[in-house]
């Protein structure tokens, strides 16, 4: 009991100094951002929505040769969502293949391919303009070199596998990584 009181008192004293201002000491700090859903005004706090859950994170583009992967990504989402996997797509024009406007990108995702997993408005995923989420993913396992790069992230925010565009969503190696994350 005394230890608990001392710990609480020490924490209270350190908080004003900013010792814990960055949030919990975990591997999820890179999710401390709110982003806008694709073709929507709705903002989503990434830590609140995805913190502590296994993730499949993909950078996407509407006019890429790999855009057909949306169909298999949606199948993965449907297969694993009840087991806790969150499939998360981040539209990006870093490789100059995203639609000119979000309405068109949304049409491709939601209408053409029936995507029901979370998709976010375009952000930078590589280089100096990379969003902090993708900076951390790149730090852990390398930056995407093209659209439809896939990151499998465990519940603690650690990338346990990373796959280039050519690896299909229904490949055995990607499914094995998802199973490890679950």
Tens of pLDDT, residues 96-144: 999 999 999 999 999 999 999 999 999 999 999 999 999 999 999 999 9
* pLDDT band with cut points at 50, 70 and 90 for residue 4: very low
28: left (phi over 0), alpha (psi -120 to 50) or beta: alpha
Q: Please report the pLDDT score of residue 26 as a whole number.
A: 78
Is 64 one of the annotated active-site residues of the chain? yes
- Please, what's the b/e burial string for 28-46 (b: 16 or more CB within 10 A of its CB; e: otherwise)? bebbbeebeebbeeeebeb
User: Is 90 exceeded by the pLDDT of residue 24?
Assistant: no
Q: What does pTM read for this prediction?
A: 0.86
Among the listed residues 64, 109, 174, 181, the single catalytic one is: 64
> For the chain, which domains are there?
24-181 (3.40.30.10)
């Amino acid at each position: 009991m005394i230890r608990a009181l001392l710990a609480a008192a020490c924490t209270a004293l350190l908080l004003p100094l900013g010792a814990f201002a960055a949030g919990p000491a975990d591997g999820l700090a890179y999710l401390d951002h709110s982003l806008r859903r694709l073709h929507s005004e709705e903002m989503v706090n990434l830590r609140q929505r995805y913190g502590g859950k296994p993730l499949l994170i993909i950078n996407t583009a509407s006019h890429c040769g790999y855009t057909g992967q949306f169909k298999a990504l949606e199948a993965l989402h449907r297969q694993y969502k009840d087991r806790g996997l969150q499939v998360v797509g981040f539209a990006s024009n870093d490789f100059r293949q995203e639609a000119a406007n979000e309405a068109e990108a949304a049409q491709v995702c939601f209408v053409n391919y029936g995507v029901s997993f979370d998709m976010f408005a375009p952000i930078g995923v590589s280089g100096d303009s990379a969003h902090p989420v993708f900076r951390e993913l790149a730090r852990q396992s390398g930056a995407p070199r093209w659209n439809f790069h896939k990151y499998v992230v465990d519940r603690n925010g650690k990338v346990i596998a990373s796959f280039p565009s050519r690896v299909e969503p229904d490949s055995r190696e990607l499914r094995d990584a998802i199973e490890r994350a679950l």
